[in-house]
């Protein structure tokens, strides 16, 4: 279990999804959980409740009385991939903070990096697998 003795101490991890990557820092906080993304609040960066829920899922699963200040820099990808990258980074940081949380976070699927990416377009095709319309004559 990591011990935050100084005010400036934090745990830094990286979370990824598709082409989005989130560099996440967590530090202890006396108040409620606070999330800052690219110097914006969680509500500003992720406008919908669904995306806010995805981003904060890992903190909800850490069923301890601990509260954290989360600071993240997110680059690339779409808004949903960014939310999942943030969740992945927060989950990794929480496991580094307290190894006992690993079982719950792993069962929820937050520690696995989702490997699915967009397949590249192939020569002679319209997209990755879609072929041009076939005409008999």
Residues 10 and 62: their CA atoms lie apart, in Å, by 17
Tens digits of per-residue pLDDT, 24-37? Answer: 999 988 888 889 99
How many CA within 13 A on the CB side of residue 54?
A: 16
- Walk me through the domains of the chain, giving residue ranges and CATH numbers: 11-108 (3.30.230.10)
Quick check: 105 and 94 in contact, CB under 8 A? yes
Tens digits of per-residue pLDDT, 105-135? Answer: 999 999 999 999 999 999 999 999 999 999 9
The overall pTM is greater than 0.85: yes
Tens digits of per-residue pLDDT, 53-105? Answer: 999 899 988 766 678 899 999 999 999 999 999 999 999 999 999 899 999 99
Question: Taking Cα atoms as reference points, which of 88, 41, 92, 97 lies closest to residue 66?
Answer: 97
């Amino acid at each position: 279990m990591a011990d935050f003795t100084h005010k400036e101490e934090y745990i830094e991890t990286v979370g990824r999804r598709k082409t989005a990557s989130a560099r996440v820092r967590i530090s202890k906080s006396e108040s409620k959980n606070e999330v800052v993304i690219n110097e914006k609040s969680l509500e500003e960066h992720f406008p919908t409740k669904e995306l806010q829920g995805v981003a904060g899922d890992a903190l909800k699963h850490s069923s301890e009385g601990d509260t954290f200040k989360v600071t993240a820099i997110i680059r690339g990808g779409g808004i949903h991939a960014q939310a999942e990258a943030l969740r992945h980074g927060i989950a990794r940081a929480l496991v580094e903070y307290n190894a006992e949380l690993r079982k719950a976070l792993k069962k929820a699927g937050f520690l696995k990096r989702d490997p699915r990416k967009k397949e590249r377009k192939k020569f002679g095709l319209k997209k990755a697998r879609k072929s041009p319309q076939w005409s008999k004559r």
